[in-house]
Structures are given as structure tokens and as C-alpha cells.
Chains A and B, each alone.
Chain A
Amino acid sequence: KQEVTQIPAALSVPEGENLVLNCSFTDSAIYNLQWFRQDPGKGLTSLLLIQSSQREQTSGRLNASLDKSSGRSTLYIAASQPGDSATYLCAERPEADRGSTLGRLYFGRGTQLTVWP
């Protein structure tokens, strides 16, 4: 069974810092990996999706990388802002779903980020 782990569980930083959130998975047979943001009492918002054939994706101040061989993904947030405060979740879609348009996701427990002014 695929296990997805996120470290750290919580992170508190001052505004302006660059930071890295980590995600690891036990089975390298993944189809793709996504990073989501969750605000308190809200649903999840997709941030970045990396296909298994890709090494990284960028969107604004966010950069996500994927290293299948080591079973790791990182989310890099540049010049953090208080508005970045949220819980960040990574989720992998298994290789077993390749060839299927079904998109089951397996989630980590998340990293709760607080950026203070």
C-alpha cells in the first residue's frame, strides 16, 4: 500500500523567507503527483501537478520538483507572505491508474504553514 509522508507537520516562518515542504512516497510507481492548498474550513485547491515523466513544475512563486527514484517531491515557496498561511498537501496518483481516466489520489497528512508578518 502506498504511503505518503509529509515533513514537517507544521512550520512557522517570518514573512519573506524562502521555504521547502517535503513529500515522500514509498512506492516509486506513481503516475503523477499533485500539491494542494487547504485553508481552514475550506476545500482543497490544486496548486501544481507533476507527471511522472517530468522533473518540476512552476507557478508564480511556487516550484514543485519530483524525484521518482528517491520517492520524493518538494514544494518550494519563494518570498513567503502571510497569505501563504494554509495547510499544504501532496497527493500521488498510482501508476496502476495509467491507461485509465480514473484519478484516485493518495494523500499525505499535510504541512501546516504559518507565515507571520
Chain B
Amino acid sequence: DAGITQSPRHKVTETGTPVTLRCHQTENHRYMYWYRQDPGHGLRLIHYSYGVKDTDKGEVSDGYSVSRSKTEDFLLTLESATSSQTSVYFCAISESTGGAVEGYTFGSGTRLTVV
């Protein structure tokens, strides 16, 4: 989607290796989110950010860390990848106007396979 890109689009990695996924936005939105999508579970929130260096945990944060050193970039790191982290990862951005959250924009996703 225009304004938000995820990289890489696909990745295969071995169990125990560190992996970093990148989300880049050009919309200057304040809020950024990482979700994972799995069959039988739908999308679940991993971590989110409400500003540079401001992050917090979502529903399924164990095994993941995030960093946001610039407004435009939100990185998701799997410290030591496990097979249970095989999933499709989506980044999303949102903004607020007058106190109301505007609509979300989702990236196209990163398909991660841990073997």
C-alpha cells in the first residue's frame, strides 16, 4: 500500500537465529503496530508504538522486541526465532485528528518461515 512498506516480503530462517522485520512509512503517522496473522487465530497485536522511542506490548509479545528510533521506521525483532513464530506479519499505521483515531493503513505483510 502506498505510504507503508514492509521488508522483506518473504523470509526463511533457521530456528535460533535472530530476525528483524522492517516497517517504513512516509505518512508521518504517530502510531505504528505489528500484528501477526495465523490460521485459526486471526490477527493478533504483538507490539505498538505511540511515538519515537515509545513502545508497548500487545497480546502476544513474548519472544519479540521492537524499536522505533525514527518516526518513519518500526522494527520487529525475533531474538531467537522458533517454529511457532512462523506466520505472516503485518505492520499498520494510524493517526489521530482532534482526539479521534483515523483509519488504519496496513502494509502488504511479511511471510516468515522458521525451519
A residues apposed to B, CB below 8 Å: 4, 34, 36, 41-46, 49, 89, 91, 93, 101-110
Contact = CB atoms under 8 A, between A and B. Distances in A.
B1 interface: yes
**Of residues A41, A43, A45, A107, which shows the largest number of chain B Cβ atoms within 10 Å of its Cβ?**
A43
Interface residues on B, range: 20 to 34
A44 B41 CA distance: 16
Contacts, number: 63
B42 A46 contact: no
A89 B41 CA distance: 12
Given A43-B106, A43-B109, A103 B44 contact: no
B90 A89 contact: no
Interface stretch (B11-19, B64-72, B75-83, B96-104): B96-104
B44 A107 contact: yes
Contacts of B108: 41-43
B25 to A, nearest CB: 13
Contact of A108 (B30, B42, B101): B42
B45 A104 contact: yes
A102 B50 CA distance: 7
B74 interface: no
B1 A107 contact: no
